[in-house]
Structure 1
Amino acid sequence: MKRMDHLIVKLGVILSLMVWIAGCTGTGQNQSVSAPAKTKPAVDITEPAEPATKVFTDPTGREVEVPTHPQRIVSLEFTGYLSALGIKPVGTAPRFFNPPFLELMDGVEDIGYPPSLEKSLELEPDLIIAANYLTAEQLEAFEKIAPVVLLKWSETNNMNRLTALADLLDRHEEERAWLESYQQLVQQTKDRLSDHIKPGETASVFYAWGTSINLLAPQVISTLFDDIGFQPTEKMKERLSQDKDFASETISREVVADYAADRIFIIAEQTFGTELVEEMQRSVLKTLPAFKEGKVYVLDPNWYSFEPVLLEWQLQNAIEVLTE
């Protein structure tokens, strides 16, 4: 009887295990057919597309919507700055088709002077770069062709234009490379001239064209002052203290002597400028110490420019002029 009771207990245990296993199996089956757990959607790491345009505040304070990466630039001015940044416009003014720019103008169209609206339109520019001397009517006309960015014609620092264009065109790496190269050229020029210029020597610069004589501020001809190291006269310093933005002014022949310096540089504009200089040498200049000491220099018209390509040329030309 005891044996029978023991067998019954074993059968009960076996049946209980079978029921438990069946329950576990059922649970597993239910899990296999249930809806999958929800997962978070994958994060889209694709960078958003760069906008086709951007708003640029030009040096005159105008906000202009421009292409992010312009492909066809017409430059009414400042083509030398574009060249320093490694950019060639599709069209520019005729004065850039002369040395030392000429070798850079392959494939560039001459838009004439005054700049032709028709020619500019034919070139299908997506950006126009100009100086702030444009009249309101001219600006409005060119804006109908493409966005127009204005740079200041008179600047207290010529490199401000380079930085503005580097901002506009995202060319800061090229800007830095050119500035480093230029500073090396400046040092080489100063080394070459160290035996020819005394520390503290003063200079005055005039521009002769037709019958007009213009007095030029040091920042206009930065190569002579900022780079080579000539100092402005006391009269010029006084003028700049009264008007820090002073750039140039037409003066009478009698006023030339007021700004006389240790060295006098006269930029002569082609034939008419040369004739005016010759007349000055027979009159107002002949009484000045600089003239008597042979320190009056007649310079090429390329000196009356602040384009980077011409700044390089001016440094090289300064060696020729001052070491003769």
Structure 2
Amino acid sequence: MKFTAMLIAAGLALVAPAAAQETRSFIDDAGRVVEIPVNPERIVALQDIFFTVPLIELGIHPIGSHGRAGDDGQPFLRSSKMLTGVDFDNTDIAFMGTGTEIDPETVAAVQPDLIILSTNQDPQLFAEIAPTILLDFRRLDNFELYDRLAELTGTTASLELLKVRYGEQIAQLTRLGDPSGTSINVIAAVNGQVRSYARFAALGKVLHDAGFAQPDAVADVEYGQYSEFSPEMLPEMDADIIFVTYRAEFGETPADAFAQLEETVPNFCNFLVACQQGRMIAIPRDETFATSYGALGTLAYAVLAASTAANAISYSTN
């Protein structure tokens, strides 16, 4: 997309105040050395769940953000209202667009002094508006993005408090949840396959950091990845506890998660002891992979509750 002459002039005018601010050099994930404001005040974040939610948790409200469109056409920040209370409809954060369909003119209109781009966006489209930083959300540990965002925005002290809280939550889970003696898997039926999220994203991080065991079928999956299995492999997915996920933000319910499994593997519960003994638990999928310390804490308590309940069931049957 080419800027009109008027937009170019406006963009250059916007760069001038940013240039007048005190700046420092920052190396982004593309290896570009970018001069950015020492204290950016007008940030546009062009990825909601990986950039905007962490920024809000770090105490920074972007002036504009990428988002999603609901069935009613209204924009929303994925998982944000559930995890932070913040969304487009109750703040002055401006909606920039969905996916990669971000119009530079829309970004320029909010006069940012820093633009944080996702991996599938072109920095050159926005370079005339404000300094652009590209961060790669495809990394295996998305929580590394927190360190990058805190470094970028000067909020490392806030991040350290979040890490201390999470450390205490994991210590409690490790002490009370019997992780070494409890196996956990996280599954969903997706496109005719059984997908395991036991090593993936926020819930995978909690299970990994607490040291929970896993079924042999998924034990060698690389940290930060999910894996897909053919339906006949479902018995190999069994564990002491199974979490099954569903898209609550899009109106799905636990019944949908079980119905999808039933469609993929008829009479699926017959193949899973965890299901037969009431140790199969449905939880919303968005919170399980959000890059959010709030999500980590919620998940740590959910896993603690599930593991202590599973241990009680085992005790009662012995």
> Which among 285, 307, 313 is matched to residue 298 of structure 2?
313
Compare CA radii of gyration and give the structure with the larger one. 1
How do 1:1-324 and structure 2 match up within 5 A? Answer: 52-77=22-47, 78-92=51-65, 93=67, 94=76, 95-103=78-86, 106-114=91-99, 116-117=102-103, 118-132=105-119, 134-136=120-122, 139-190=123-174, 194=176, 197=178, 199-208=180-189, 213-220=194-201, 221-240=203-222, 247-270=225-248, 271=251, 275-281=256-262, 282-301=266-285, 302-319=287-304, 321=306
Cα 1:112–1:190 shift into 2, 3 Å: farther
**In structure 2, what is the Cα distance between the partners aligned to 1:152 and 1:88?**
21
TM-score normalised by the chain length of structure 2: 0.69
In structure 1, the partner of 2:17 is none
- Distance in 2, matches of 1:222 and 1:172, equals 24
Distance 2:179 2:79 in 1: 35
Between the aligned residues of both structures, percent identity stands at 22
Q: Which amino acid aligns with 1:183?
A: G
Give the SS at the match of 1:297. Answer: strand
Task: Work out the CA distance in 2 between the residues paired with 1:257 and 1:63.
Answer: 51
In the TM superposition, what is the alpha-carbon distance from 1:258 to its structure 2 partner?
Answer: 3.4
Structure 2 Cα separation of the partners of residues 150 and 265 of structure 1: 34
Q: Distance in 2 between matches of 1:181 and 1:202?
A: 25
* SS across alignment from 2:245: strand
TM value normalised by structure 1: 0.68
Unpaired segments ≥5 residues, structure 2: 1-19, 68-75, 310-318
Q: Is the 8 A contact 1:100 1:309 kept in 2?
A: yes
Structure 1 residue 300: Cα displacement: 0.9
The gaps in structure 1 that reach 5 residues or longer are 1-49
SS in 1 for 2:218: helix
- CA shift digits 1:112-150 (9 cap, x unpaired): 423542433322212222332x155xx443445433323
Residue 295 to residue 111, structure 1, CA distance change in 2 (3 Å): same
Residues 158, 116 of structure 1: CA spacing in aligned structure 2 closer, same or farther, 3 A cutoff?
Answer: closer
Counterparts of 1:262 and 1:289, CA distance in 2: 8
Judged with a 3 Å threshold, the aligned counterparts in structure 2 of structure 1 residues 174 and 276 are, in CA distance, closer, same or farther, namely closer
